[in-house]
Chain A
Amino acid sequence: MEILIFNLFIFILACFVGFEVISKVPTTLHTPLMSGANAISGITLIGALVVAGSAGEYIGTILGFIAIIFATINVVGGFMVTDRMLEMFKKKEDK
C-alpha cells in the first residue's frame, strides 16, 4: 500500500509539472507538440520490454512482443515525424 501511495504522489506531482510546462504555446507549434507528446507516450515501450523479456507465461511474452512493435512504431515514427515538421520551420529562420 505504501508503494501505491508513493506512486500516486509522484503521479500527481508529474501532472502538475506537465500542466506548468505546456501552459503557453504558440499555435504554430500545436501540431509538432501534439506529435512530440504522442511520441513520449510511447514510453510504455519500457513496460513492454519487461513483459516480453521476463520469460514468464508464453502468452504474456507474445502480448509483450506485440506491445513492443506497437510502442516502437509510436516512439520512432513519432519522434521522426516531429523532427521532419520542425526541420521545415528551421529552414525558414535561416533564410
Chain B
Amino acid sequence: MSQFLPDVVLAYLPTTVQLIYMLSVSLFIIGLKRLGSPATARSGNKMASLAMFIGVFVTLFDQEILTFEYIIAGVLVGSAIGAYAAKKVEMTAMPEMVAIFNGFGGAASALVAAGEYFRFEGVSLPQSDLFIMCIGIFIGALTFTGSIMAYGKLNGKITGNPVTYPGQKPINGLLVIVIAVLSAWFVYDPLNMIPFYVIIGISLLLGILFVLPIGGADMPVVISLLNSLSGIAASAAGFVLNNSLLIVSGALVGAAGLILTNIMCKAMNRPLSNVLFGAFGGESAGLAGAAVGDGSKSIREVQPDDAAVMTAYAQRVIIVPGYGLAVAQAQHTIREVASLLEAKGVDVKYGIHPVAGRMPGHMNVLLAEANVPYPQLYDMDDINPEFEKTDVVLVIGANDVVNPQARSNPASPIFGMPILNVDSAKSVIIFKRSMNPGFAGIDNDLFYLPNAYMFFGDAKKSLQSLVSAIKEL
C-alpha cells in the first residue's frame, strides 16, 4: 500500500514499520504472559490477536508488496475456513483442532521459505540465507506432516498404537543426515533444483516417520513439541526475510512450546525422550499387562440401582473424570448426576488429574462447558488427602491415572507417575467400557480391590441409567 502514500511520509515509512513491529512484539509478550494466568487469560489472548492484527496490517505497507489481489483472496479464504472451524468444533475435538491448525502453520512457514527462493530465482542469495531457507523448509514440512499424523491418530483415522519396525531410529537419523548433506549441496549450487525438491520430500516423510512410533495418548506432548517447532519455522522464515517481528514471535512460541512440552512430560513423570522414542503403550506394555493379569483375580460388577443407593446416601462423593468421559461426551450427564446428588445433600467434588482428558487441561475445558462450578474442581494435590474421608468415588473413563501400580509396582511402566489415590476411599465405582486395559496397556490393580465395583458400558449410557436410578429413589 506504500504506493498510495506521499513521498514525505514514504521517507519515514521503514522506520515507522519497524517501530510498530516493536509495539506488536511487546503486545505478544504481554499477551503470552497474561495467557498464563486464569484471571487474565482471555485478555491475554485478545492482546495477542491485536498484536497479530497490527503486525499484519503494517506489513501491508511494506515497499516490497506491490499487488494485493492474491493477498485479499488468501486472507478472505483463510479467515472464512478458520472462523468456521473454530465456531463448529466440539470441545472434545480440541486436540485434533490444535493439531491441524498447527500443521497449517508449519506448512505456511515452509511455503514462505520456498516461495522466497522462487521469488529471487536466478538472483544470487547469500549462502547463509539459502541455508536458513533449508532449515525453514525442513522444520515447516516436518511440522506439517507430523501434525497431520497427530490429527489422524487423535481422531482414530490412523491407529493410535505405536508403529515400530526394525531400524526405525537409525533410518530416521540417516534421513536427517541426508537432509543436512543436501542442504550443503543446495547452498553451494543454488540453481540446481534437485536437492531442493528432495529436501522437501524427505522432510515431509520424516514428519510421518517421527510420529508413527508414538502412541495416541502421547499426542498432546507431540502437538506441543510440533507447536514449538512451528514457531522455530516461522522464526527461520523471519531470518530469510530479515523481519524482526517474525524472528521474535517465532522464537517466543518456540520457547513457550518447549516449556509447555516439558511441563506436560513432568505431569506424566516421563522424560521427553521416553515419549518420543519409547513407543509407549505397545508390545512392551502388553508384556507388563500379561505379567500381572493372571486371571485368578476377581472383579465385582455393580448395577445402576445399587450404584444409585450407594451414591445418593453417601456423605461425600468425588468424581474422577478421564479420557473416556471426554470420548463419550458424557460431561453434561455427569453434571446432571452431580446436581441430583447435591439436591440430596451429598457433598460432590471433582478430582482432576493433570493429564486427564485428551490433553493437559482439556478436562477443565470440558467441565467448564458443562457448567460445572469452578470451585468444585480440585487439582490432584488438593484432592488426594480428601479420598480417605470419602464414601464413594466415581471413576469415569479414567484408568492409568488411578492405577495403584504407579505407587507400588516398580516394574510397571507407569511407576512413579503421580496418581489420584482413589483406592483409599470407602468404595470406588469404576465406569468402564470393558476390562480392556487403558492407553498405557497396563492392567489396573484397582479393579480387583475389595472396595472396587465395576460399572460396565458406554460412559454416557451408564451415567444416564444412573441418573434415572437416582431419580427413582
A32-B45, A79-B49, A89-B38 known; A44 vs B108 contact (CB < 8 Å): yes
**Contact in complex: A40, B52 (CB < 8 Å):** yes
A53-B65, A68-B71, A73-B82 known; A44 vs B234 contact (CB < 8 Å): yes
Contact with A along B229-242 (1 / 0, CB 8 A): 01101110111111
- Is B395 in contact with chain A by the CB < 8 A criterion? no
Contact with A along B262-305 (1 / 0, CB 8 A): 01100100000000000000000000000000000000000000
**Contact in complex: B86, A43 (CB < 8 Å):** no
**Contact in complex: A25, B118 (CB < 8 Å):** no
Closest to A95 in B: B373
Tell me which residues across on chain B come within 8 A of A34, comparing CB atoms.
Answer: 98, 220, 223-224, 227, 257, 260, 359
Tell me which residues across on chain A come within 8 A of B248, comparing CB atoms.
Answer: 10-11, 14
**Contact in complex: B105, A19 (CB < 8 Å):** no
Q: Which of B87, B101, B360 contacts A38 (CB 8 A)?
A: B101
**Contact in complex: B74, A41 (CB < 8 Å):** no
**Contact in complex: A50, B65 (CB < 8 Å):** yes
Q: Which of A15, A30, A57, A79 contacts B260 (CB 8 A)?
A: A30
Tell me which residues across on chain B come within 8 A of A10, comparing CB atoms.
Answer: 244, 247-248, 251
**Contact in complex: B85, A68 (CB < 8 Å):** no
CA A89 to CA B289, docked complex, whole Å: 39
Contact with A along B26-60 (1 / 0, CB 8 A): 00110111011111011011101100100110011
Contact with B along A29-59 (1 / 0, CB 8 A): 1111111111111111111111111111101
Q: Which of A25, A55, A78, A86 contacts B67 (CB 8 A)?
A: A55
How many chain A residues sit at the interface, stated as a range, is 35 or more
**Binding stretch for chain A, among B158-166, B362-370, B459-467:** B362-370
**Contact in complex: B255, A42 (CB < 8 Å):** no
Q: Which of B78, B97, B249 contacts A40 (CB 8 A)?
A: B249
Interface centre among A1, A46, A77, A88 (most CB of B within 10 A): A46
Interface of B is mostly: helix
**Contact in complex: B359, A31 (CB < 8 Å):** yes
Q: Would you give the shortest CB distance from A19 to chain B, in whole angstroms?
A: 5
Tell me which residues across on chain A come within 8 A of B365, comparing CB atoms.
Answer: 31-32, 85, 88-89
A7-B242, A69-B74 known; A38 vs B264 contact (CB < 8 Å): no
Contact with A along B339-381 (1 / 0, CB 8 A): 0000000000000101001011110110011011110000100
Closest to B244 in A: A10
- Is B192 in contact with chain A by the CB < 8 A criterion? no
**Contact in complex: A53, B66 (CB < 8 Å):** yes
Q: Would you give the shortest CB distance from B119 to chain A, in whole angstroms?
A: 4
**Contact in complex: A54, B119 (CB < 8 Å):** yes
Additional pairs, 10, CB under 8 Å, beyond known A41-B105, A43-B245, A44-B109: A10-B251, A18-B255, A22-B259, A30-B264, A33-B361, A46-B56, A47-B241, A48-B108, A69-B81, A78-B86
| 22 examples of A-B residue contacts, CB within 8 angstroms | A7-B238, A7-B244, A7-B247, A11-B235, A14-B249, A15-B255, A19-B258, A21-B256, A25-B37, A25-B260, A35-B94, A36-B32, A44-B112, A55-B66, A57-B121, A60-B119, A61-B70, A68-B70, A77-B85, A79-B45, A86-B41, A91-B371
